[in-house]
């Protein structure tokens, strides 16, 4: 029998605090060679509108998990009242290869990305005992999930939000103030959002930098989850060049991150500028920030291992509480 879990069920089974703990564990396992195998994702450009279709397989040994995520990104979906990003995760029995579960992966993609960012912020941001000012650039699903992850697991004070659409950023501020019980203020431009922020989250679909180097305060920590293709940029190259740069996966970063690939091609830095992976920091094999005034950047591309760890956690919990629908396939 195969278990089917829809988004509502997956969301209930994976509270953010638990996802943060699961992602911290899998990131450490990945960077220290503890039984995780995953190739670089395969990507297809689909149709006249160049829709994104990615295939992301992985296997884990602790806990045992085997599967694949099929993820798409169609910008035109907004006109169809559909999310731009959709995903399905297929889990297989690691011992036999038999199909065990099919899960909606849209929420897992959204939430595990934010959970990973929260883990990285915990290790890379300054800790001075005071609530941090958080700036978010973007007002979509990733902006919402990052605000949730950061407010639930970090000490957050003032929150500023900016996106190009006035209506979208004001709606975001209103809705997320109610949802998180945290005052979220929409501001008129990106510079106003990030000035003096200790934590900056870039969660955009922009094809060019949305922040400038001079706007970022000394000691700030920047999370970048947009620009996931080698021809795209989300950050000012000067900012990337002068910051301590940490990634989720070196292999993914050098192949997929425009902020890194373009900087290398332009000679702004070499591969050694990527200080390491966040899993190495978690394991204590690499320092996070090296001074209070240093700017740190966490560049996240997302990994199949994260998806499998989240999906396996949802699946195991569903077996215990009877969630989902069992079908014979």
- The architecture of the domain spanning 2-109+305-327 is 2-Layer Sandwich (3.30)
- Secondary structure string (H, E, C) spanning 148-164: HHHHHHCCEEEEEEECC
Residue 78 has a pLDDT of 82
Q: Which two tokens stand for residue 304?
A: 């199949």
Report which of 190, 214, 213 is spatially closest to residue 202, judged by C-alpha positions. 190
**10-residue block means of pLDDT along the chain (329 residues)?**
97 97 98 96 89 96 97 89 93 97 97 98 89 95 96 95 96 95 95 96 92 96 91 94 98 95 96 98 96 97 97 98 92
Both tokens of residue 33? 């060679």
Structure tokens at 235: 């950050």
Closest by alpha carbon to 70, among 99, 108, 100?
108
Predicted local distance difference test score (pLDDT) of residue 160? 98
Fold equal for 2-109+305-327 and 116-302: no
Asked whether the beta carbons of 304 and 58 are under 8 A apart, the reply is: yes
Rounded to whole angstroms, the Cα distance separating 243 from 274 reads 10
Predicted TM-score (pTM) of this structure: 0.95
Instruction: Give the sheet arrangement for strand 325-327, strand by strand.
Output: 42-46, 51-61, 64-73, 85-92, 99-104, 2-5, 325-327
CATH 3.40.50.720 fits 116-302, yes or no: yes
Provide the 10 A C-beta neighbour count for residue 287.
13
Quick one: which of 237, 242, 203, 253 has its CA closest to 220? 242
Q: Could you give the strand order of the β-sheet that contains 274-277, starting from the edge strand earlier in sequence?
A: 184-186, 156-162, 132-137, 199-202, 221-224, 296-299, 244-247, 274-277
**For residue 210, what pLDDT is reported?**
95
**Apex 194 CA angle, 188 and 196, nearest 5:** 120
pLDDT of the residue at 9: 98
Domain boundaries, the chain: 2-109+305-327, 116-302
């Amino acid at each position: 029998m195969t278990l089917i879990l829809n988004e509502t069920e997956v969301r209930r089974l994976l509270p953010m605090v638990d996802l943060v703990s699961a992602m911290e564990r899998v990131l450490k396992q990945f960077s220290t060679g503890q039984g995780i195998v995953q190739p670089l994702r395969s990507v297809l450009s689909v149709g006249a509108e160049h829709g994104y279709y990615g295939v992301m397989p992985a296997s884990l040994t602790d806990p045992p998990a085997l599967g694949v995520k099929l993820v798409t990104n169609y910008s035109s979906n907004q006109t169809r009242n559909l999310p731009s990003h959709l995903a399905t995760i297929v889990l297989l029995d690691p011992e036999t290869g038999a199909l065990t579960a099919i899960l909606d992966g849209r929420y897992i993609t959204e939430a595990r990305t934010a959970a990973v960012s929260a883990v990285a912020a915990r290790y890379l941001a300054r800790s001075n005992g005071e609530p941090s000012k958080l700036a978010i650039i973007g007002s979509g699903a990733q902006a919402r999930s990052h605000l949730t992850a950061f407010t639930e697991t970090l000490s957050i004070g003032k929150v500023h939000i900016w996106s190009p659409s006035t209506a979208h950023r004001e709606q975001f501020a209103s809705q997320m103030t109610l949802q998180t019980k945290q005052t979220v203020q929409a501001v008129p431009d990106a510079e106003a959002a990030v000035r003096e922020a200790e934590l900056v989250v870039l969660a955009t679909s922009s094809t060019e930098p949305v922040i400038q180097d001079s706007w970022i305060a000394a000691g700030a920590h920047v999370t970048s989850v947009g620009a996931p293709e080698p021809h795209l940029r989300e950050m000012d190259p000067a900012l990337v060049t002068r910051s301590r740069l940490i990634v989720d996966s070196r292999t993914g970063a050098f192949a997929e991150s425009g902020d890194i690939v373009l900087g290398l091609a332009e000679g702004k830095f070499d591969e050694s500028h990527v200080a390491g992976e966040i899993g190495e920091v978690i394991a204590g094999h690499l320092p996070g920030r090296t001074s209070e005034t240093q700017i740190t950047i966490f560049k996240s591309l997302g990994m199949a291992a994260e998806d499998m760890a989240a999906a396996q956690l949802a699946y195991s919990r569903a077996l215990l509480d009877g969630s989902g629908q069992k079908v014979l396939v």
